[in-house]
Amino acid sequence: MAMDMELEMVLRPPQLPMPPYPPKMVTLANGKVMVIRQAVREDVPAILKSVHPCLFIERDYYDVVSARVYGELLAWYRYRVKSEYCLLGQVDGYLVGLVNGRLENEKVGMSYHTLAIDRGLRIGSHLFAAKMEYHMEYLNQDQVLVVAESPIGFRRWMVEYPLIETRIPHELGGGDSWVLTRETYFNAKPRLVVGDRPVPQELMDEAMLDIKFADDDTIRERIAGLKGR
Amino acid sequence: MNKEIAITAYKCKKCGKIHYPFHDRCLECKGREFEKMHPEGDATLLAYTVIFNLPWGFDQRFLILGVAEFENHVKAMGQIKADSVDQLKTGMKVKPSWEPIKKQYGEDVYGLKFEPME
Amino acid sequence: MRDVAIIGAGMIPFGRRDEDTLMEMLAYASLKALDDAGLGDKTVDAVYVANMGGGMLQHQSAIASSLVDRLSLLPAAAETIENGPASGASAIKNGLLAVASGYYDYVLVVGGEKMREVTGWRATDFVATMTHPQAEYPYGITLPGMAGMFTRLYMEKHGVTREQLLAVSLKNQEMGTLNPYAHVEMALDRGGIFDSPHSVVNNPVSADPLHLYDLCPVSDGAAAIVICPLEMAKKHNKTPIHIAGFGQATDTQTLQEREDPTDLKAVSLAAQKAFEMAKLKPSDIHVAELHDAFTILEIAESEHVGFFKKGEGGKAAAAGKTRLGGQIPINVSGGLKARGHPVGATGVAQMVDIVWQLRHELPKNRQVKNAQNGLTVNFGGFGNNVLAFVLKRVE
Ligand SMILES: CC(C)(COP(=O)(O)OP(=O)(O)OC[C@H]1O[C@@H](n2cnc3c(N)ncnc32)[C@H](O)[C@@H]1OP(=O)(O)O)[C@@H](O)C(=O)NCCC(=O)NCCS
Ligand SMILES: [Zn+2]
């Protein structure tokens, strides 16, 4: 398809420069090591393959969350957002979860979604924490606006940090935002933000090589736990 | 303003055993007559915990709870006013008070609270 | 009194079963047990249904009447038994007495619960309704909270350590990976939940000093058995399992009114009665299912039923004496920790697991070799209503 590059340059917002998120590794409850690293634009097609089977899982609003993540990542891939980032969680190279968000402005972050593609391992907690760590410690922001789209999210973010209720509308268009301040973040950090750096080269290589993803049925079973028995 | 601790304990008229909560018959001797009594003085912490998975109706992140024994030997459960269980140990003195413990239909529900004295 | 035996046992996988209603789960487990007993189209004389939360969680009452209708067991007698988390064992006891008395011959006992219909907050609140309505419940106390207080006292009095509790969760979740009926099928790693600094997130405090992996999950599930007089059991297709003894005892509702809150009197009494009736001792038991809603309970119960002296249970668990192949294998099924704890189903599920053990029907990696006698303990409230059963294989 021929593209009118002149028009495209009008539609394509300039990408805001963002300092990188330095990768870290986390030991999970089952002893496996999860590498958390920032996705690059070229990773998007592979990520979407893992997100796809989640589109059809109603449980815990996986369908809503993954459909939105799908759209957000695609928009980033096709240059329709100016300040989006995505952090990935990988175990043995396999994608087990992701978080994304963007900068509202230099000082305010906009948290988008947390999608755990494996359950019962606190992957969501670790990834959400990494996202907050990115906003506070690497992007040096003052606050992050957050909403939850499922009861589990509400319990994890709003109650555990705890976030502060505001009247500020959130970009996702649902309930009003809850805010994470620097003070809340640094108070919560010892109990919620963990990980070791640097990640050894071989682990990094494995994560970067090719994003592996389980087949659709496995992903669906992991999330929905539908044993069919 | 300090509210009076609105707990009634029951002392068996026959054998003297103190009950809280109420039982229709004495747990010791089956006696049915009790003298009403109120918790008195400070209390000693007998057991405690902090819970992070709260039931419906509680919005806070965690709740510290414990059982304490008053000077006149009434034992009762209450919420503990502390920031962390690290400030607590069994056997320590706690100051009882009667304060809101939760909200129900927008109204305060009152109950026992204990504050560490050491 | 007539001797009574189990001739059929069935269970459906525990977990989060969004697609099934409570009635469906009860029906599936019942049919499995009826078929296992080889009853074919024959009906049973009575049905006892164990369920704790149908009224509160599903807004449904008279569950047993609905179940017999659904299963075409009419005009069998039917009733629902609610006895908190000990509902399962209570229903079995009632069925057992009915058959032992000579009044009924064939009885179906089924336990089921659907707890995941509501959010975690609601489920926690539902379970907390067992506590004293004035002296405990309003404060926000939960069952894990009661267990937390109990654990600290037990640690102080009997020297139980967090590492010993850990041994129980590691063992039970490991066994859960071998059990296709288990809710949690994930082995835990000591590093990930204890040694590593990352464990603060992986295994956070839930009810101090208990951490997340010291607790059972909140589950949906159902299990069922069919019982009849031992005499008649011999003509059915499965090796009969004789319910050789049972005991039940109660204790004060609040922990503070117990002389020694670390003494689970109801557990000791229930087990003693069961052993006496069966004319067996704790050392005659080859496999046990204890009510490990919290890891501390497996240790405390292993002492209170007489497998170990007070203060020795934790050490025994850490030394591997309660593992498959050890001195007394406990919760080879994964226990409540891994199989899950749909409250009304648990007492029946424990019995089903012991039946499978005593029939020698399980795969090698979880069969206690040549097991002849088994024990179950179903613990209601915080130890204020406890039942124990001793089961014997009949050759
Ligand atoms: C500990 C507890 C609060 C955890 O709840 P949670 O953090 O909300 O857990 P989630 O619902 O997010 O569970 C996510 C996954 O984690 C795992 N998980 C949850 N609780 C677990 C536990 N206690 N042990 C092991 N794995 C667990 C499961 O795999 C679950 O997947 P599922 O949804 O397919 O079941 C909850 O399990 C609990 O309240 N347990 C105690 C129940 C109780 O008191 N029962 C009555 C005793 S008498
Ligand atoms: Zn008396």
pLDDT digits (tens, 9 = 90+) for C289-348: 999 999 999 999 999 999 999 999 999 999 999 999 999 999 999 999 999 999 999 999
- Spacing, Cα C120 to ligand 1 middle (Å): 8
Angle C343-C347-C349 from CA coordinates, rounded to 5°: 95
Looking at chain A, the whole-number percentage of residues with pLDDT higher than 70 is 97
Distance CA A160, CA A152 (A): 11
Instruction: List chain B domain ranges.
Output: 40-116
Q: Is C338 in the pocket of ligand 1 (CB under 6 A)?
A: no
Specify the CATH number of the domain B40-116.
2.40.50.140
Task: Please tell me the predicted confidence (pLDDT) of residue A185.
Answer: 97
CA angle B96/B102/B103 to nearest 5° reads 145
CB count, 10 Å around CB of C78? 22
Assign domain C4-119+219-233 to its CATH superfamily. Answer: Thiolase/Chalcone synthase (3.40.47.10)
The answer, yes or no, to whether any atom of ligand 1 lies below 6 A from the CB of C184, is yes
Residue ranges with strand state E in C143-300: 205-207, 210-211, 220-229, 241-250, 287-289
Does ligand 1 have an atom closer than 6 angstroms to the CB of C212?
Answer: yes
Residue-wise pLDDT tens digits, C176-228? 999 999 999 999 999 999 999 999 999 999 999 999 999 999 999 999 999 99
Chain C neighbors of B57, CB-CB under 8 A: 125, 140
Q: Is the CB of C124 under 6 A from ligand 1?
A: yes
- pLDDT of A228 > 50? The answer is no
pLDDT at position A73 over 50: yes
Give burial (CB, 10 Å; 0-12/13-18/19+) of C59.
exposed
The closest residue, in CA terms, to atom 31 on ligand 1 is A120
Contacts of C125 in chain B (CB under 8 A): 55-57
Provide, rounded to the nearest whole percent, the portion of chain C with pLDDT above 70.
Answer: 100
Could C125 and B50 be called an inter-chain contact, meaning their C-beta atoms sit closer than 8 Å? no
Phi first, then psi, for residue A164 (nearest 5°) are -105, 130
Q: What pLDDT score does A179 carry?
A: 95
Q: Which ligand is nearest to the CA of B25?
A: 2
CA–CA dist A104, A18 (Å, integer): 13
By residue count, chain B amounts to 118
pLDDT tens figures, C56-73: 999 999 999 999 999 999
- For chain A, the chains sharing at least 3 beta-carbon pairs closer than 8 angstroms are B, C
| CA-based end-to-end distance of chain A | 48
What's the pLDDT score for residue A224? 65
B112 membership: H or E segment, kind and range: strand B107-116
Backbone angles phi, psi at B58, to 5 degrees: -120, 120
Average pLDDT over residues A176-205: 96
Which of C318, C3, C18, C72 lies closest to C190 in space, CA to CA?
C318
Q: Provide φ and ψ at C286, rounded to 5°.
A: -100, -20
Q: Is the peptide bond before A198 cis (omega within 30 degrees of 0)?
A: yes
Instruction: Say how many CA atoms lie within 13 Å of C214 toward its Cβ.
Output: 26
Q: Identify the H or E element spanning C134.
A: none
Q: Which residue of A has its CA nearest to B60?
A: A159
Query: Range with the lowest mean pLDDT among A3-17, A47-61, A210-224, C229-243?
Result: A210-224
- 8 Å CB contact between C124 and B53: yes
- Is the pLDDT at A150 greater than 90? The verdict is no
- The bridge status of strand C373-380 relative to strand C287-289 is parallel
| Average pLDDT rounded to a whole number, residues C12-32 | 96
Residues 6+ apart with CB under 8 A from C56: C126, C129
Lowest mean pLDDT among A83-92, A173-182, C110-119: A173-182
| Contact assignment for B67 to C148 by CB distance below 8 Å | no
- Contacts of residue C202 in chain A, CB cutoff 8 Å? 27-29, 121-122
Nearest CA in chain C to B54: C121
| CA B116 distance to own-chain centroid | 14
Q: Is the model's pLDDT at A226 over the cut of 50?
A: no
The 3-state secondary structure of C243-255, one letter per residue: EEEEEEEECCCCH
Is pLDDT at C287 greater than 80 in this prediction? Answer: yes
Q: Return the H-helix or E-strand segment holding A190.
A: helix A182-192
The full DSSP string for A142-160 is SEEEE--SSHHHIIIIIIT
- Which among C18, C187, C197 has CB closest to A59? C18
Contacts of B63 in chain C (CB under 8 A): 140, 145
- In this structure, which amino acid lies at residue B62? F
CA distance A225 to A211: 23
Cβ separation C120–A125 shorter than 8 A:
no
Confidence at residue B65, expressed as pLDDT on a 0 to 100 scale: 98
Share of chain B above pLDDT 70, in %: 99
Strands A94-103 and A108-116 come out as antiparallel
Instruction: Give the three-class secondary structure for C207.
Output: strand
How far apart, in whole angstroms, are the C-alpha atoms of residue C195 and residue C208? 18
- C13–A125: do the CB atoms touch at under 8 Å? no
Q: Establish whether the linkage from the previous residue to B21 is cis, with ω within 30° of 0.
A: yes
Residues 6+ apart with CB under 8 A from C194: C162, C163, C166, C203
How far CA A154 is from CA of A28, A119, A159, A160, in Å, comes to: 22, 16, 7, 9
pLDDT at A1: 56
Query: Region C97-126: what's the mean pLDDT?
Result: 97
Burial class (CB in 10 A: 0-12, 13-18, 19+), C102: exposed
> Mean pLDDT, chain B, as a whole number?
96
8-state DSSP, A197: S
Which residues on chain A place their C-beta less than 8 Å from a C-beta of chain C? 26-32, 59, 120-122, 125-126, 129, 151, 155, 190-192, 194-195, 224-227, 229
Instruction: Give the pLDDT of residue C166.
Output: 98
Asked whether the predicted pLDDT for residue C358 surpasses 60, the reply is yes
- The structure's pTM equals 0.95
pLDDT higher for A17 or A191?
A191
For chain A, the structural domain boundaries read 21-223
Average pLDDT score, chain A: 90
Pocket test for ligand 1, best of C218, C377, C385 (most atoms within 8 A of CB): C218
Residue A144, phi then psi, degrees to nearest 5: -125, 135
- pLDDT per residue as tens digits for the range A95-138: 999 999 999 999 999 999 999 988 889 999 999 999 999 999 99
Task: Indicate the burial class of C74 (C-beta count within 10 angstroms; 0-12, 13-18, 19 or more).
Answer: exposed
Asked if residue A227 has pLDDT above 60, the reply is no
Is A215's pLDDT higher than 70?
A: yes
d(CA A44, CA A71): 11
pLDDT, greater one: A12 or B36 = B36
Q: What is the pLDDT of residue A225?
A: 58
A225 lines ligand 1 (CB under 6 A): yes
Q: How confident is the model at residue B27 (pLDDT cuts 50, 70, 90)?
A: very high
Summary mean pLDDT of chain C: 97
Q: Does domain A21-223 have CATH number 3.40.630.30?
A: yes
* C16 C-beta closer than 6 A to ligand 1: yes
Q: Which two tokens stand for residue A149?
A: 């789209």
Side chain identity at A135, as an amino acid letter?
Answer: H
Which candidate in A125, A156, A159 is best for mutational testing of the B interface (most B CBs within 10 A)?
Answer: A159
